[in-house]
Structure 1
Amino acid sequence: MFEVLVYVYENYWQGDACPELHQLSRKLTAVGFEAEEIQAALVWLNGLNIAAQNTQVGLPDGSAVNAPELALVNTPPGFVTQSAGSLRVYSVAEQDHLGAQALGFVSFLEASGVLPPHMREIVIDRAMAAPGDPLALDDLKIIVLMVYWSFGEEPEALVLDELCDDTEFRVAH
């Protein structure tokens, strides 16, 4: 499934250029991906599209947040952001499925200020929908890229480098 997601990201990095799911399925088949991998990736992408659209809609009544002290630059309109002192507690199922490496990486991205809370929740949701126990760190990085992609954003160059870098060949200083 992750090979298909990487292909989609590389070939349709501008999210609006990506065809509808049924057309995408035909294109992926023509490229040579297996039907099972394509189906799993399309189901996963559909869940990503739904999560991103629901996040961008805002509050059900269409009202905006009138608390400027809570507003952050990367927060969609209509959402109350978490306070600076709040803490995300991961369920046992999330801890088991994601593993220590993936949770540590999510915390690193949050602390760096590049993964706002609304995007973090989508990353966690899509990671829980992905295969693997625990989820491989490289797979989580693909998920983070796809979440950025779903919002039509490209991560900053240093973040993109961290997400795309193969840590196997890194030399510790």
Structure 2
Amino acid sequence: MKESVLDVLMYLFENYMDGEFSDETNHETLRVELVGAGFPEDEVDHAFRWLDGLAEQRRNLSITGAPGAIRIYARSEQARLSRECRGFVLYLEQLGILTGLTRELVIDRLLQIEDDIDLERVKWVVLLVLINEPGAEDAAAQVEEMVYYDGDFLH
């Protein structure tokens, strides 16, 4: 079975406290453990680049706009994110789980995944973005519940 970057990130989430895998000083130790657990080295490296990219995007991204503004997706984004995935992101934003900033971080991080993007992957990326977002603990807990316990949200 070919492991993907998201598989590595999910493993990190499920087996380590978020401070452990978000802290760059732990990356080398975690890299050794992940390769020892059977993950391909290139996917482990990609996972840490993904986390580093999340931190960099958070520092560089500034969102301004009126509350209730609608996000228009570029054609390239629409090609990668199905209507169901885009609808789920909008649903989370309408619930107040995602802000304009975290929505953009989610979209950016989704587009960095080389695999096909389905609703399950969107849920995981949202969770990973929120657990790395200061002050978003309640929102992350809600999404974690969705990932592990809830069924189909949109129907």
TM bucket normalised to smaller: 0.7 to 0.9
**1:40 alignment partner in structure 2:** 46
Q: 2:143 aligns with which of 159, 166, 173?
A: 159
Paired with 2:37 and 2:70, the residues of 1 have a C-alpha distance of: 44
Summarize deviations over 1:46-90 as a string: whole Å, max 9, x none. 2112122335xxxxxxxxxxxxxxxxxxxxxxx664212522110
Contact 1:126–1:143 under 8 Å retained in 2: yes
Q: 1:125 aligns with which of 95, 108, 122?
A: 108
Structure 1 counterpart of 2:12, one-letter code: V
Structure 2 counterpart of 1:146, one-letter code: L
**1:137 alignment partner in structure 2:** 119
Whether 1:10 aligns to 2:6 is no
Summarize deviations over 1:70-118 as a string: whole Å, max 9, x none. xxxxxxxxx6642125221100111110111110110100111110000
**2:55 alignment partner in structure 1:** 49
Contact 2:63–2:100 under 8 Å retained in 1: no
**1:30 alignment partner in structure 2:** 36
The structure with the largest helix share of the pair is 2
Instruction: Report the TM-score when normalising by structure 2.
Output: 0.80
Paired with 2:100 and 2:32, the residues of 1 have a C-alpha distance of: 35
Aligned-residue identity in percent? 34
Contact 1:52–1:150 under 8 Å retained in 2: no
Q: CA RMSD in A?
A: 2.4
* Distance of aligned partners of 1:158 and 1:45 in 2 relative to their CA distance in 1, 3 Å threshold: closer
Q: Structure 2 unaligned runs (5+)?
A: none
Q: Secondary structure at the match of 2:73?
A: coil
Paired with 1:123 and 1:105, the residues of 2 have a C-alpha distance of: 11
Instruction: Report the TM-score when normalising by structure 1.
Output: 0.72
- Give the length in aligned residue pairs: 145
Q: Structure 1 unaligned runs (5+)?
A: 56-78
Tell me the CA shift for residue 25 of structure 1.
1.2
Tell me the CA shift for residue 161 of structure 1.
1.4
Contact 1:110–1:116 under 8 Å retained in 2: yes
Tell me the CA shift for residue 166 of structure 1.
6.2
